[in-house]
Amino acid sequence: MLNLIMKLIVCPIIVIIAANFLTNVNFPYVYQPIVIGITLAVVGHLMEIAILQKGTFWISNAVDFVTSALIIYFLSYFFAGADVTMGGAIITAALLTVVEFFVHLWLIRSGRARKEPSL
């Protein structure tokens, strides 16, 4: 649960930072990158539950990167005035993946990425 809360804070901040510093990521309203960031946080958390284990560290990071880039790019089409190029989505996803790299390391090392046997 701590991971989800952390993601709900960090993901929107990273998307807002990318929107302010990258010329190919433009959101005219502040709620737009926040909605995309929350979507990224929820999807990323669900993917960690499904994929992340000790042996799937790099696969999980790669899937996070591709999924984040696609979500950022395609979800921006649903917002009036938003303009995100594929390059901007890839750079923003790369920034998110750098953060996710360290989060995944922490989850694995702390044992929080362990899967419980299902009944």
Does residue 8 fall inside a structural domain? no
Number of domains in the chain: 1
Does residue 5 fall inside a structural domain? no
Does residue 94 fall inside a structural domain? yes
Q: Note down the domain range covering 47.
A: 34-113
Does residue 7 fall inside a structural domain? no
User: What one-character-per-residue DSSP string does the chain give?
Assistant: -HHHHHHHHHHHHHHHHHHHH-TTEE-SSTHHHHHHHHHHHHHHHHHHHHH-SGGGHHHHHHHHHHHHHHHHHHHGGGSTT-EE-HHHHHHHHHHHHHHHHHHHHHHHHHTTTPPPPP-
Does residue 92 fall inside a structural domain? yes
Does residue 3 fall inside a structural domain? no
Does residue 22 fall inside a structural domain? no
pLDDT in single tens digits along all 119 residues of the chain: 788 899 999 999 999 999 999 999 999 999 999 999 999 999 999 998 888 888 888 999 999 999 999 999 999 999 999 999 999 999 999 999 999 999 888 888 887 776 655 55
> What's the whole-model pTM score?
0.89
